[in-house]
Every structure is written in C-alpha cells, then in structure tokens.
Amino acid sequence: MEHFAVVKSLVRVALAQGDDTVRHQVERLAAALEKADDKDAAALTRMLRSESATKTLTPSRLTKSSAGERMRRGVRVPVDRETSAPLATVVFPDENVATRPVFPADFAASVDGLRMEWENHERLADAGMRPALSCLIYGPPGTGKTSLALWLARDLGLPAVVARLDGLISSFLGTTARNLGALFDFAQRYECVLILDEFDAIAKLRDDPNEVGEIKRVVNTLLQNIDTRADTGITIGITNHHALLDPAVWRRFEVQLATPLPTALERLEIAKASMKDLTTEAKFVAWISEGYSGSELITLVDRYRKRSILAERTTAPVTTISPLAASTTARDGATKPRIRLDETSLMQALATSTDIRFQQSEIAFLTGVSTKTVSRRVSEFAEGNHIHAE
C-alpha cells in the first residue's frame, strides 16, 4: 500500500486515543487490505492486537492508555484492615520535586535505557514487546536510590506510589501477605510507579526461625505480585542490603541498577550545583570528600554554607571545610587520607592533584596565603622530593 508508513503512524496515534469508533475503522481497513491480499494487512492486525493486549501507557511522556486508570488526587490508598495504617503514600507528578541524581555516564546510560523503553512502549508493542516492568535499585546508603526512583516517576509523568513498610508489615504474617496483595491490586489499577523502598525488610523476614512456612508465603506473595504486575507502570524495589536478598527475589527484577559512590567528576557536579557562587570551594569540597556518598557530600556542603553565612570574619575555606569534612561522615572504616593532611602536604597534594585540578591562585585562596607563598612551598616540596629521590 502506498504511503503505508504514514498510514501506520496515523493508526498508531489514533489507536492510542482508545476510541472504539477509530478502532472499528482500523479494523475495516485491515480487513480490506487483507482481502486485497496486501502484505501490509498483517502489520495493521498486529497493531490492533498489541494495542488491546498491552493497553499502552499515557501522557505526559506516555501515550493514552486504556488499561490503567488515571489516578486522581484524593484517591483512596489501601490501609491495613486492623490498624488502618496507610499502605502507601502517593506523590503526584506536580508535587514531585525529585531532581535527577548525578551518576557516572555508564550508569546514567542504563537509566536512560529504561526510560527509553517506557517512552517508546508503543513501538515496542508494535514488535510484540513491552518495556521492563520491574527494576531493582541497590547500593550503599545515601547514593541516590530513593531520589532516582522518585525522579523516574516524575520524568515519566506518573504518580509514585511509595509503599509504607511500617503500615505494610504486620506482626501477623498473614496480614502482611494480605497487605502486599492489596497494595499491588491498587498499583495494577492505576498508571503509576510502585516504589518498594527498603523492601529487604520483607525479604529479611525469612531470617525469623519461627513460622518458616508463613514467611515463605509472604515472600512468595511478593514474588507473584512482581511477576503479575500489569504494564500500567513499573515496580521499583530498593535496597541497601542486596546480599540479603534471596536469589529468587533478585531474579524477579528485569533491570538491576547498582548505584555507585560518586567519583571526583560527579562529586564536583553535585557540589557545584549546590554551591553555585563558590566554585573554588566546591572544587575543594569535591576533592576532600573522596569516598563519600552523595548524601554525605550534600550534608558537608550544607554545613559549610551555614558556617560561611554565620562566620563573622572570613577564614580560609580549608580551615572551615577540613574539620567539617572529618566530622561529616558517620561511616567508619573508610580511609579519608585527604582530610588528615597538614598544611604543607595539603598544598602539595592540591598542586599535584589529577582527579580535580587546582591553579596555584585557587590553592592560595583556599588556604589563605599568597600565590607567591604557594608557589614557593610547592617548589620547595618538589626540590625536597628530588633531593630525597637522589
């Protein structure tokens, strides 16, 4: 059929409206083409079939759906029958303030791959495929897992249904299983992103030596629900303790994203974003915070900003930042050699740093001495090293 590519695009847009009259006309066209023995008839039939089978997702980023209902404000979130505690909190796109966390390029590419599947679900449906319906985000504390899940929901223009594990998990395992069922039923019904944050709390129930059978039932309920989640949206499981997860749980998730600690490049981007007018200080903060999570880095930045607002007289940034950095992170065991440098070694380390590069004028500003002094100290140190090496 001539110009069939255009016809196909028109049909795709029209079918996405979910209008029965439109559908009927497309069916007529498909039948007519089939009668004329046109090879394009099959493509139309496929589109009709996949449209009704997958019931595609809707705007803003997704196209109109006939499967999931659009969630409205004031929607009744399921509650625990005994305690009336809500099983989830809903964050609507217009009140979702999550920003895209900063990640290394390869990680960001995996995230974009997932977004692309959802944005192009129609094209996938044409080929008889569907986007990934479940995703596991795991990684060290404070590396942006929750932020990423919320931002994905916002980016796709879907409400985030964030499970409340406090309400969900009951001391009665039967109730926990029922609550999980109710939560997933709710998520199936609407177009949404279902977020099971710190969901290892459920998987961990297996550790309880009592009632092993019952616990299995709860975990199985979780697995079955993940398996049968309709494509009204994606289910995102989040955990810090991926080692605790049962391999069966692990396998359930179609996409797995391991959030890394930020490298110098990402730390610099995060620090600069929240210290806009303090570029040199941001560089130093990024430099000294090697081994920090994004969350620890933000805490350090906030503490420094407060100090600089409240400081009566200006002190050299390193004099403020270094002790703050030393006391910001609660995680022990991590070596933070840059924090413990004395003044001369610090100058030398900054002058020879390769992950983040400093001009001598920047080192002078940070340490509160003249550029001349920095230059002298640095060359003395180089000479000393040279003599030492001989």
d(CA 152, CA 157): 8
Does residue 328 interact with ligand ATP by CB under 6 A? no
Q: Which of Mg ion, ligand ATP, none does 364 bind, CB closer than 5 to 8 A by kind?
A: none
Helix (H, G, I), strand (E, B) or coil at 348: helix
Q: Is 348 in the site for Mg ion (CB under 5 A)?
A: no
Q: 64 Cβ partners below 8 Å, 6+ apart? A: 16, 17, 18, 56, 58
Q: Is 143 an interacting residue with respect to Mg ion (CB under 5 A)?
A: no
144 binds, among ligand ATP, Mg ion, none (CB under 5 to 8 A by kind): ligand ATP
Least Cβ distance, residue 110 to Mg ion (angstroms): 19
The residue among 165 and 347 lying less far from Mg ion, judged by its C-beta, is 165
Give helix 360-367 / helix 317-328 axis angle, nearest 10°: 80
- Strand pairing class (193-196; 235-239): parallel
- Cβ(292)–Cβ(322) under 8 Å? no
Which of 214, 253, 262 minimizes the C-alpha distance to 234? 253
Among 128, 141, 174, 337, binds ligand ATP (CB under 6 A): 141
Kindly state whether residue 146 participates in binding Mg ion, applying the rule CB under 5 A. yes
CB of 203 to ligand ATP, least distance (A): 16
Q: Which is nearer to ligand ATP, 88 or 238 (CB)?
A: 238
Peptide bond into 60 cis (omega under 30): yes
Q: Which stretch binds ligand ATP (CB under 6 A): 84-92, 125-133, 140-148, 381-389?
A: 140-148
Nearest to 306 by CA among 292, 316, 319, 320: 320
Exactly one of 18, 68, 142, 233 binds ligand ATP (CB under 6 A); which one? 142
> Is residue 306 helix, strand or coil?
helix
Q: Using the rule CB under 6 A, is 289 a contact of ligand ATP?
A: no
Tell me the C-alpha distance between 268 and 337, whole Å: 18
Per CB under 6 A, the list member of 12, 23, 145, 283 interacting with ligand ATP is 145
* Closest C-alpha to 219, from 183, 238, 239, 246: 246
40, 103, 138, 377: which one contacts ligand ATP (CB under 6 A)?
Answer: 103
Position among 175, 224, 240, 308 found at the interface with ligand ATP (CB under 6 A):
240
Residues 6+ apart with CB under 8 A from 56: 16, 62, 63, 64, 65, 66, 67, 121, 122, 125
Residue 304 near residue 281 (C-beta atoms within 8 A): yes
Q: Quick one: which of 65, 134, 146, 328 contacts ligand ATP (CB under 6 A)?
A: 146
Cβ closest to ligand ATP, residue 78 vs residue 144: 144
Which residue number has the CB closest to Mg ion?
146
The 8-class DSSP code of residue 69 comes to B
**Contact positions with ligand ATP (CB under 6 A) in 180-239:** none
Q: Which of 50, 54, 58, 143 binds ligand ATP (CB under 6 A)?
A: 143
Residue type, 265: L
Of 18, 144, 167, 237, the one binding ligand ATP (CB under 6 A) is 144
> Which residues form the interface with ligand ATP (CB under 6 A)?
101-103, 141-147, 240, 262, 270, 294-295, 298
Residues that bind Mg ion (CB under 5 A): 145-146
